[in-house]
Chains A and B, each alone.
Chain A
Amino acid sequence: MTTLPIESQKTSQIRFALNGEETDVSFAPYKTLLEILREDLGHTGTKHGCELGECGACAVLLDGKPVLSCLVLALECAGKQILTVEGLSEDGKLHPLQEAFADLGAAQCGYCTPAILVTAKALLDHNPHPTRDQIRESISGNLCRCTGYLQIFEAVEAAILKIADKKSSPA
């Protein structure tokens, strides 16, 4: 028997929580978190623009913190919580950030959007009322070539208000 090509040798296996769901996945051991998400788990919402940690398009939340999934080995993720754009909406309803991005023109081509959304979520989870400078800072590792960022800032600010509204008047 000839040897299987390296990518087909799915000799590694981990269990982790992907968007709140316990998930087992087998994969070739060299793979990054980005690669197993897109190629082995069919979660193509997370994008890539360089696979070198330069563009920020592949950001996901690892235990609540934004990481560049192209620089994280999948093997390091055993037992961790991973949140991708697919996990943002709840009960079929868009997250306030998603609503605001959609309404205010914060997504043009939409390619950098998933990463910016999860990065902004991490910011708001830790700091529900960030200033514009803190918003700027938080997404400064996510390049967007379409918007000039301003409508992204505005959308995050609109989402802050929406989230605060929701909290003050629980349905």
Chain B
Amino acid sequence: MPNEKDSRTAPKNSPKIAGDELRVIGVSRRRVDARAKVTGQTRFADDIFLPRMAYCKLLRSPHPHARIRTIDTTRAAAHAGVYLVLTGKDVPIQYGILPVSQDEQALCVDRVRHVGDPVAAVIAREELTAFEALDLIDVDYEILTTISDPGEALNTPEPRIHEYGEEGNIHKFVALEFGNVEEGFAEADEIFEDTFFFQGNTHLPIEQHAAVAIKDPDGKLTIWSCTQTPHYLHRALAKVLEIPAAHIRVIATPNGGGFGGKSDPFHHEIVVAKAALLLDRPVKICLTREEVFYCHRGRHPVLMKFKTGVKKDGAITGMHLQTLIDGGAYGSYGVASTFYAGALQTTTYHIPRYRYQGCRTFTNKPPCGPKRGHGTPQPRFGQEVQLDKIAEKLKIDPADLRLRIVESSNAVTANFFRLGTVNLAECIRRIVKVSGWKEKFRKLPLGRGIGLACSAYLTGAGLPIYWNKMPHSGVQLKFDRSGGVTIFCGATEIGQGSDDVLAAIVAEVLGIDTFDIRLFTGDTDLGPVDLGSYSSRVTLMAGNAALQAAERGKTIIAEAIAEKLEVPKERLRFAGKRVFDSAAPDKGFSFQEAVCLAEARFGTIGTVGSYTPPKSPALYKGGGVGPSPTYSYSAAVVEVEVNRVTGWVTVPRIWIAHDIGRALNPALARGQVEGSVYMGLGEALMEEQEFRRLPKKLSHALVHKFPSILEYKSPTSLDMPEVITELIEEPDPHGPFGAKEVGQGPLLPIMPAVANAVYDAVGVRIDEIPVTPEKIMKALAEKKAGRNPRFGPDHFPPVNWPEALRVPPPWEGGDGNAVNDIPRRAKTDAKKEKVLTP
């Protein structure tokens, strides 16, 4: 059997009692959905073909900012083969992923806000006909001033891209202060001020977004879509279509890559649902690659200013972070992203006083949102590069500096995040050892260098996107007389292996094989709600729900078997597809017999499990973004070779250690680490979502510089370095079998480690991502001219920051509330807090 392979990574526990060893968890196994994937039978959304199916195409705005005067669809509607043409007035209700930014419309009604904003839809017998008919729609636009970047947004309050937000084109301010940062700077021996820029980039899943909707025979709606968040899509559809949520079924098809890019409810999903209901026939849409670039929701471009005070020994006395964030044309997850950009700084190193000011602006570009690491890679880049500079100035090895200041397990940070297990120090020690850091750092020949960086990430957002007290994840199990077990769960398979996590946990508890389990996941009708595949939450949250459901099933079966065997049920073990007496292992039943005996004793057997994260001590407004049941930690060392004539960077090797708690399936865990390293390397060296203005004689419109895979450079198999992965396993009590996240965290240290390595190689600081040859050449020229050997921003524009909420940190007697937010204090006391959005 495939799951007996690779015993290298089997857990090294020595059980005293038969049946107590782990047989599934911790073993590298074939994932449950692997066969479907290698035979091409995984049914992605665009693989669905239904009888009488019609095809949908969207007409998108060619202008970055314009008022729609009129739309005339007469000619398109009359085109042979066209069934239906929809415009904004057919689906006018606003929606959005966050309750605080319901600012999208499925088809723009009176305003377009970026090139690619959809204004009309054609549904036709054939895709090509629908495409042709787009040309027959006449839209009269009144061009408005384009806001192209946050600087322009700050200086151009009118026209407003949206009528809501803080003021002008500022979408969101965050201002939080934990302790008196100025006092912290006064205590410091050295103050460091650095400005960094992180360019935006996009997810580039190889699967283009697709969806198919049908009106069920009973008049209800079913939609298949490659969404990471079927539950949130469910809610958005109910709102916009104004039909009861109970009459809508969302089936998340396996995503052909998500990385955060399929986490919002999208125009095309709402449009095909509306069209299917109107036409009473299946309607499909598959976006072109160009359209995928317009959907975006990718990494926000962020300008950052870090001011950090340190003692001579490296201890941080205070940190002040400012961010200016380019949000694009809509809210998306942006309010959460703005908080996240300042949230996790405190989770890696002890920062006794911390001030964060964040500002997200609207611009006339495709909306930014959550990409792997959501909001945290940009400030992590700045923080880790600045630490490298601090270490150099203080003449402390960068690894040693970090080891001196790492946070400890179960600490509560200045901003009131309660940490779980923190094995960052072990990650650093391991990576220093395996990379030969001490022999290489500042010792390699000119042109070769090595850089180190660390990071932390959530294992699931502590709060749901809309405020409620219900579980974040639920699992139902059906125990069949066949001996098979069926898992029903809303968790969504986006390639990360969520189905395998559920199967592994249930199989381990019940002593059966993962291939004896059937899964129905990502289906809002069949399974209980799981909030979705985002914030690295599935392993811990859906995993804990599965664990609870399986344990409950085990209890029921054990009770029946204990009676039958006349042994205490504590003595029973479930292993090897058997239920047996651990004192006399021959005495027992097959799992199938055990299920039948239990059913005979108690009736039909089904169990449920659910998971709700622990309550966070961060009670202040905005404290809902950043808490997590536990955090993962990573440390990476990157080796580079920099060509001093061309600026070209080659990366031969990367060492990475990841504090994972426990690897449920080490082969898959390593795949997540390597995939994160790969994606981080793409961000570090080449990936950028860039825009340009067309020449004045054309429209002067702000357009995507290269909405194609050919021009949007991402690493190929030829660019991928050797990666040495070290999984640090100390089971965390919050995770199922001790597991923490692995899908996002390992991406985070790569970008700063690359920049730090480039400095080690050629002595220039590239304080901007991506680190391109052009930037290196410019910095080398500065160096040659005797100027500051650096490339990066040197200016943070003036921002009219609001007064910060002042939250005394735990060591100053703080209770998690802001001292200057009186109305909220009252609300909190009355237990009515509405903590915002993870």
Interface residue ranges, A against B (CB under 8 Å): 2-3, 5-8, 38-39, 42, 44-52, 54-55, 57, 84-86, 88-89, 94, 97-99, 101-105, 107-114, 117, 135-137, 139-153
CB of B793 closer than 8 Å to a CB of A: no
* A88-B39 CB under 8 A given contacts A49-B709, A50-B289: yes
23 contacts between A and B (CB under 8 A): A3-B80, A5-B124, A6-B126, A7-B127, A39-B49, A49-B709, A54-B709, A55-B206, A98-B39, A103-B5, A103-B30, A105-B31, A105-B671, A109-B255, A109-B257, A109-B495, A110-B495, A111-B256, A136-B720, A137-B718, A145-B259, A148-B679, A149-B678
Interface centre among A48, A89, A141, A152 (most CB of B within 10 A): A48
CB of B415 closer than 8 Å to a CB of A: no
* Smallest beta-carbon distance B205→chain A, Å: 6
Counting residue pairs across A and B whose Cβ atoms lie within 8 Å, the total is: 198
Report whether A85 and B497 are in contact in the complex, using a CB–CB cutoff of 8 Å: no
Q: In the docked arrangement, what's the CA distance between A151 and B670, Å?
A: 9
Report whether A140 and B80 are in contact in the complex, using a CB–CB cutoff of 8 Å: no
Q: In the docked arrangement, what's the CA distance between A125 and B127, Å?
A: 38
Q: In the docked arrangement, what's the CA distance between A112 and B128, Å?
A: 25
What is the chain B residue whose CB lies nearest that of A102? Answer: B34
Q: Select the stretch in B13-21, B40-48, B603-611, B819-827 that faces chain A.
A: B40-48
CB of B36 closer than 8 Å to a CB of A: yes
* A45-B39 CB under 8 A given contacts A111-B206, A144-B206: yes
B1-18 contact mask (Cβ, 8 Å, vs A): 1 or 0: 010011000000000000
Main secondary structure of the interface of A (DSSP, over half): loop
* Smallest beta-carbon distance A43→chain B, Å: 8
Report whether A5 and B126 are in contact in the complex, using a CB–CB cutoff of 8 Å: yes
* Smallest beta-carbon distance A47→chain B, Å: 7
Report whether A109 and B30 are in contact in the complex, using a CB–CB cutoff of 8 Å: no
Partner of A57, one of B5, B129, B206: B206
* Smallest beta-carbon distance A136→chain B, Å: 5
Report whether B39 and A85 are in contact in the complex, using a CB–CB cutoff of 8 Å: yes
What is the chain B residue whose CB lies nearest that of A101? Answer: B38
Report whether B674 and A150 are in contact in the complex, using a CB–CB cutoff of 8 Å: yes
Report whether B289 and A5 are in contact in the complex, using a CB–CB cutoff of 8 Å: no
Partner of B207, one of A39, A47, A94, A107: A47
* A109-B254 CB under 8 A given contacts A147-B674, A148-B674: yes
CB of B288 closer than 8 Å to a CB of A: yes
Report whether B81 and A5 are in contact in the complex, using a CB–CB cutoff of 8 Å: yes
* Smallest beta-carbon distance B415→chain A, Å: 33
Q: In the docked arrangement, what's the CA distance between A112 and B425, Å?
A: 37
Report whether A105 and B205 are in contact in the complex, using a CB–CB cutoff of 8 Å: no
CB of B143 closer than 8 Å to a CB of A: no
Report whether B256 and A47 are in contact in the complex, using a CB–CB cutoff of 8 Å: yes
Chain B residues with Cβ under 8 A from A111's Cβ? 44, 205-207, 256-257, 495
CB of B496 closer than 8 Å to a CB of A: yes
Chain B residues with Cβ under 8 A from A88's Cβ? 39
Q: In the docked arrangement, what's the CA distance between A112 and B619, Å?
A: 44
15 further contact pairs, Cβ within 8 A, besides A7-B127, A47-B207, A98-B39: A45-B41, A102-B38, A108-B496, A108-B497, A109-B258, A110-B36, A111-B256, A136-B720, A145-B203, A145-B257, A146-B257, A148-B677, A148-B678, A148-B679, A151-B667
Report whether A145 and B80 are in contact in the complex, using a CB–CB cutoff of 8 Å: no
Partner of A139, one of B670, B708, B717: B717
CB of B35 closer than 8 Å to a CB of A: yes
Chain B residues with Cβ under 8 A from A48's Cβ? 46, 208
Report whether B207 and A85 are in contact in the complex, using a CB–CB cutoff of 8 Å: no
Partner of A136, one of B127, B494, B675, B718: B718
Report whether A8 and B125 are in contact in the complex, using a CB–CB cutoff of 8 Å: yes
Chain A residues with Cβ under 8 A from B255's Cβ? 109
Q: In the docked arrangement, what's the CA distance between A41 and B707, Å?
A: 31
Report whether B678 and A110 are in contact in the complex, using a CB–CB cutoff of 8 Å: no
Report whether A146 and B675 are in contact in the complex, using a CB–CB cutoff of 8 Å: yes
* A84-B40 CB under 8 A given contacts A146-B671, A146-B675, A148-B674: yes
* A47-B44 CB under 8 A given contacts A101-B38, A110-B37, A110-B254: yes
Report whether B289 and A86 are in contact in the complex, using a CB–CB cutoff of 8 Å: no
Partner of B37, one of A107, A148, A150: A107
**Which of chain B's residues 45-78 have a Cβ closer than 8 Å to chain A?**
46-47, 49
What is the chain B residue whose CB lies nearest that of A103? Answer: B30
CB of B754 closer than 8 Å to a CB of A: no
* Smallest beta-carbon distance A144→chain B, Å: 7
What is the chain B residue whose CB lies nearest that of A56? Answer: B206
Report whether A148 and B675 are in contact in the complex, using a CB–CB cutoff of 8 Å: yes
B389-421 contact mask (Cβ, 8 Å, vs A): 1 or 0: 000000000000000000000000000000000
What is the chain B residue whose CB lies nearest that of A136? Answer: B717
What is the chain A residue whose CB lies nearest that of B204? Answer: A145
Q: In the docked arrangement, what's the CA distance between A47 and B40, Å?
A: 9
Q: In the docked arrangement, what's the CA distance between A108 and B251, Å?
A: 20
Report whether B42 and A52 are in contact in the complex, using a CB–CB cutoff of 8 Å: no
Q: In the docked arrangement, what's the CA distance between A84 and B41, Å?
A: 12
Q: In the docked arrangement, what's the CA distance between A147 and B256, Å?
A: 12
Q: In the docked arrangement, what's the CA distance between A153 and B678, Å?
A: 14
Rank and list the top 9 A-B pairs by shortest CB-CB distance, nearest first.
A45-B40, A109-B495, A110-B37, A111-B256, A148-B678, A5-B81, A102-B34, A85-B40, A7-B126
Q: In the docked arrangement, what's the CA distance between A110 and B499, Å?
A: 14
Report whether A148 and B723 are in contact in the complex, using a CB–CB cutoff of 8 Å: yes
Chain B residues with Cβ under 8 A from A153's Cβ? 717
CB of B155 closer than 8 Å to a CB of A: no
* Smallest beta-carbon distance B354→chain A, Å: 34
Chain B residues with Cβ under 8 A from A55's Cβ? 206, 289, 709
Report whether B289 and A6 are in contact in the complex, using a CB–CB cutoff of 8 Å: no
Report whether B38 and A94 are in contact in the complex, using a CB–CB cutoff of 8 Å: yes
* A52-B126 CB under 8 A given contacts A86-B40, A98-B38: no
* Smallest beta-carbon distance B139→chain A, Å: 24
B207-221 contact mask (Cβ, 8 Å, vs A): 1 or 0: 110000000000000
Interface centre among B38, B670, B674, B710 (most CB of A within 10 A): B38
Chain B residues with Cβ under 8 A from A104's Cβ? 667
Report whether A44 and B40 are in contact in the complex, using a CB–CB cutoff of 8 Å: yes
What is the chain B residue whose CB lies nearest that of A89? Answer: B39
CB of B716 closer than 8 Å to a CB of A: yes
Chain A residues with Cβ under 8 A from B127's Cβ? 7
Partner of A143, one of B129, B258, B668, B714: B714
* Smallest beta-carbon distance B741→chain A, Å: 16
What is the chain B residue whose CB lies nearest that of A151? Answer: B671
Q: In the docked arrangement, what's the CA distance between A141 and B496, Å?
A: 23
Partner of A5, one of B30, B128, B254: B128
Q: In the docked arrangement, what's the CA distance between A142 and B717, Å?
A: 8
* A145-B206 CB under 8 A given contacts A104-B667, A150-B674: yes
Partner of A54, one of B33, B49, B678, B710: B710
What is the chain A residue whose CB lies nearest that of B722? Answer: A150
Q: In the docked arrangement, what's the CA distance between A5 and B127, Å?
A: 10
B233-267 contact mask (Cβ, 8 Å, vs A): 1 or 0: 00000000000000000000011111100000000
Q: In the docked arrangement, what's the CA distance between A111 and B677, Å?
A: 20
What is the chain A residue whose CB lies nearest that of B255? Answer: A109
Chain B residues with Cβ under 8 A from A85's Cβ? 38-40
Q: In the docked arrangement, what's the CA distance between A145 and B709, Å?
A: 12
* A148-B34 CB under 8 A given contacts A52-B709, A109-B207, A109-B494: no
Report whether B674 and A113 are in contact in the complex, using a CB–CB cutoff of 8 Å: no
Chain A residues with Cβ under 8 A from B6's Cβ? 103
**Which of chain B's residues 644-688 have a Cβ closer than 8 Å to chain A?**
667-668, 670-671, 674-679
Report whether B708 and A50 are in contact in the complex, using a CB–CB cutoff of 8 Å: yes
Chain B residues with Cβ under 8 A from A50's Cβ? 208, 289, 708-709
Chain A residues with Cβ under 8 A from B49's Cβ? 39, 42, 44
* Smallest beta-carbon distance B298→chain A, Å: 13
Q: In the docked arrangement, what's the CA distance between A109 and B670, Å?
A: 15
Report whether A150 and B723 are in contact in the complex, using a CB–CB cutoff of 8 Å: yes
Chain B residues with Cβ under 8 A from A140's Cβ? 716-718
* Smallest beta-carbon distance A145→chain B, Å: 5
Report whether A110 and B709 are in contact in the complex, using a CB–CB cutoff of 8 Å: no
What is the chain B residue whose CB lies nearest that of A30? Answer: B128
